[in-house]
Amino acid sequence: MKGTQTIQIKGHRLMLLPTGALYWPKYKALFIADLHIGKVEHFRKEGLAIPAAVGAENYQKLDAVTQGLDVEQLYFLGDLFHSKKNTGWDRFFDWVKQQDFKITLIVGNHDRHDLKAIPEGSFELLEALELEDVVFTHEPVEDAKMFNICGHIHPGLLMRGKGRLVAKVPCFAQEKNRLIIPAFGVFTGNHPVDLKQMQKVYICTGEEVLVVK
């Protein structure tokens, strides 16, 4: 797939995608973290003038990445939802009904605001997922025997250009025994990571994944 980076984790071949998603070809599994469905609607309800069209961009990204790969399983690595149920949730469940792959939510801290509002049978809920010697979670965990892939942090890298030009770019941040994947949602923000503390960092431009370290 154009613009991707292929990495080896514990001998497994994984693909880092320009959208910030991760794909495991062996399982035809796609992993997405921190979509924060309903955040736009939540902020608009509180009186902030966020354009409604911003939320639509999430679905453009979702359709582009799921239709561009052979996906049998989609895992959301937590914070699929931002707050209690609002109209943004309804649009998401309409999208779910149109998909022909299995969907699983690994529950994140934001999802716990209103888990009871998820329609029964929509998708599976898990606290964590173990595939071979890799454990997928929302928040980072320490496990000496397992490599951890997680979200939650919204990793980004501060890129400085000429003059005072500064851009915060989402990134995949790899530590010794962990890979933190960027937030997929278009209205989430990034938390700058310390480049010196990371073994490897890959920035996502939206068009390609570039190795920084």
pLDDT in 10s for each residue of the chain, 213 residues: 779 999 999 999 999 999 999 999 999 999 999 998 877 665 455 555 555 665 678 899 999 999 989 999 999 999 999 888 888 888 999 999 999 999 999 999 988 988 888 988 889 999 999 999 999 999 999 988 899 999 999 999 987 666 565 678 999 999 999 999 999 998 688 889 998 899 999 999 889 999 998
Backbone angles phi, psi at 202, to 5 degrees: -125, 120
* Residue 186 resides in a domain: no
Parent domain of 26: 5-153
Cα separation of 13 and 78, whole Å?
A: 23
Question: DSSP alpha helices (H): ranges in 70-122?
Answer: 87-97
Model pLDDT, residue 162: 61
CA 71 to the chain's CA centroid: 16
* Residue 143 resides in a domain: yes
* Residue 196 resides in a domain: no
* Residue 139 resides in a domain: yes
Model pLDDT, residue 201: 96
* Residue 45 resides in a domain: yes
* Residue 179 resides in a domain: no
Q: How far is CA 109 from CA 24, 53, 114, in A?
A: 25, 26, 10
Q: What CATH number should be reported for the domain holding residue 54? A: 3.60.21
Contacts of 143 (CB under 8 A, 6+ apart): 135, 177
Model pLDDT, residue 137: 98
Cβ proximity of 15 and 6 under 8 Å: yes
Cα separation of 105 and 125, whole Å?
A: 5
Residue among 115, 34, 103 at smallest CA distance from 72: 103
Give, as one character, the DSSP assignment of residue 122. Answer: S
How many domains does the chain divide into?
1
Give, as one character, the DSSP assignment of residue 136. Answer: E
Residue 22 tokens, joined: 């991760």
Burial of 166 (C-beta count, 10 Å sphere; 0-12/13-18/19+): exposed
* Residue 197 resides in a domain: no
Model pLDDT, residue 34: 94
* Residue 212 resides in a domain: no
Q: Model-level pTM greater than 0.75?
A: yes
